[in-house]
Amino acid sequence: MMKKYLVCPGYVRSITDGQQHYISYGKLIKLYDVNPEECTRDNYNMGFGTIKNSLTRLEPLESGYYKL
């Protein structure tokens, strides 16, 4: 299946409680409600250029609003 999303786990500061939280690869996929088979985290093997640049980045968001 063709990859559509580059999942980028990381830390985000919550607007609600002001604390930093780590949002994992799996949690981001659930938050954005996307098909895991369309996701990759392996940006090194994707190469540089059109394929990598055409992927939609899924990152932790301070707003907590995870709609595409």
- For residue 64, being part of any structural domain is answered with no
Counting the structural domains of the chain, the total is 1
Collapsed DSSP state (helix, strand, coil) of residue 6: strand
| Structural domain containing residue 30 | 5-58
Confidence of residue 54 (pLDDT cuts 50, 70, 90): confident
- Inside any domain, residue 67: no
Q: Mean pLDDT in the chain?
A: 86
Whether residue 68 lies inside any domain: the answer is: no
Residue 10 lies inside a defined structural domain of this protein: yes
31 located within any domain: yes
DSSP 54: H
Residue 22 lies in a domain: yes
Q: Mind giving me the DSSP string for 7-52? A: E--EEEE-TTT--EEEE-HHHHHHHHT--GGGEE--TTTT-SSHHH
Q: What is the pTM of this model?
A: 0.80
Residue 35 pLDDT exceeds 80:
yes
Q: 66 in a domain, yes or no?
A: no
